Amino acid sequence: MDALDLARWQFGVTTVYHFLFVPLTIGLGVYVAGLQTAWHLTGKEHYLRLTKFFGKLFLINFAMGVVTGIVQEFQFGMNWSEYSTFVGDVFGAPLALEALLAFFLESTFLGLWIFGWDRLPKRIHLACLWAAVIGSNLSAYFILAANAWMKHPVGYEVVDGRARMTDLWAVLTNSTALAQVPHVVAASFVVAGGFVIAVAGYRILRERGLGLRPGRRARMAAGDATTPMRRLPDMWRTSLRAALVMTAIAGAVVAGSGDLSGQLLREQQPMKLAAAEGLRHDTAGAPFSIAPGVEVPGLLSLLAAHDPGATVQGVDDIQARYEKTFGPADYTPNLPVVFWSFRVMIGFGMATVGLSVLGLWLTRRPRRRRGGTAKPVPDWFARLCVLALPLPAIAIISGWLLSEIGRQPWTVQGELMTAASVSPGVSLGEVAITLAIFTVLYGVLALAEGVLLVRHVKAGPELPPAESAPAGAVPAQPDEARLTPTLMY
């Protein structure tokens, strides 16, 4: 093991950790903005409570994403100076736009939203949140455009061993970026939808007294209708339904943009496509491998070229062609990681979207024109929602592993190899020390975020003042009847 191996591990660990927060921030911001918009349009109080409840979860996650994102930029200079030297003139523009335009837009208006409750007019306050949400999505666009350039470099020329940008518009409208942005952003909505679904499922179970200690459940049963949560019977069903709709729609966008990405892989990164399918040789009518030994004839060609008889290049044949073009080297990525990452991404992603479709069916409102009532959320489905919490996060992380490991051994496809990107002056010991520090620090931060999120979810939303209870009723317990705001603002 050398400094290159540890530098790659360090970048992978910190990036995966950071990427846990970014998708949730992107999707949850839109969800919270939608809730506040619903409150503004309808005036219904439960939308306001949901806005503040999920708003705090959004802010906790946003703060952690900012903290972990700062480390990413320092790594470019510390461990990857040769890479930074080569791509700096190209990366500088989209990253500057991300920092000076998107992030400042996001952070400035998010601050106004946090401290603007009861100080700004309702419309202005709502507009601040939407501006912050737009900023977070613009930030994702610029970063993904820079990342797409590494996979399919365009709008540049190499001068004195460095890439010099010749066309900013070509970089920002790279075909890979135009497919990757909707794919990743929609996947972020799936992650956020899965998170809200799990939280709503937990709160539904808690409201019903399920999953609690027997003594606590008895006290809730005795409190019955005097428990404040009982006065809001539709609040968690409303939040669940909204998340189910968002997840189902986003899942369809992920599938459509993923189809476009697959076609681009066949043209721009054939080695990644071949590795993802475990295809060793050029094959006409290539099969799609569901698992080793289980194949669907012609499906890979159909997905990659919309032609069941099209030829898809194989790993060994691409390796031979690359050796002729770029010289002797190993141009094959880690095949098991790429192969299984692809299947985990698809499997867990489909499971999350399938859960949302099932939930929409189970909670539908039958005979609406004849005054039918909405079906309650079944207990077993609420439990399933909680258990499914990690599925979308695992799916999107697997997609990132597929995307980045599948590009190896290149950092910039066809131009710069990973082995030539590492800082020449960094020693094995220096990288090992920083890797250990970051691992421990990030572990502590993960624990802190987990504690904060769990504590807030268990506490529940801000509730209205309790009405006078009938004689002999058992008062609601503190964690079920918060009479003070739960948000820091």
What is the reported pTM? Answer: 0.86
Q: What is the DSSP letter of 119?
A: T
Question: How far is it, in rounded angstroms, from Cα 458 to Cα 53?
Answer: 11
CA 280 to chain centre: 32
Task: Name the amino acid, one letter, at 328.
Answer: P
Dig out the tokens for 405 from the structure. 């490991």
Pick out the chain residues at pLDDT < 70.
210-233, 366-375, 462-489
Instruction: Note if the bond before 409 is cis, omega within 30 degrees.
Output: yes
Question: What is the per-residue burial (b if ≥16 Cβ within 10 Å, else e) of 93-111?
Answer: bbbebbeeebbebbbebbe
Q: Contact at 8 Å (CB) between 139 and 98?
A: yes
Coil, strand or helix: which one is 312? strand
Cβ atoms 209, 220 nearer than 8 A: yes
For 99-116, write each residue's pLDDT tens digit. Answer: 888 888 888 999 999 998
Radius of gyration, CA atoms only, the chain: 25
Q: What CA–CA distance (Å, rounded) separates 387 from 352?
A: 11
Length of the chain equals: 489
Distances (CA, A) of 92 to 78, 79, 146, 472, 474: 17, 18, 9, 69, 63
- The reported pLDDT for the residue numbered 232 is 52
Q: How far is CA 401 from the centre of its chain?
A: 13
Q: In 3-state terms, what secondary structure has residue 364?
A: coil
Where on the phi/psi map is residue 473: left (φ > 0), alpha (ψ -120 to 50), or beta?
beta
- Per-residue pLDDT at 219: 47
Amino acid at 223: G
Q: What is the pLDDT of residues 7-45, one digit of tens each?
A: 888 888 888 888 888 899 999 999 999 999 999 998 888
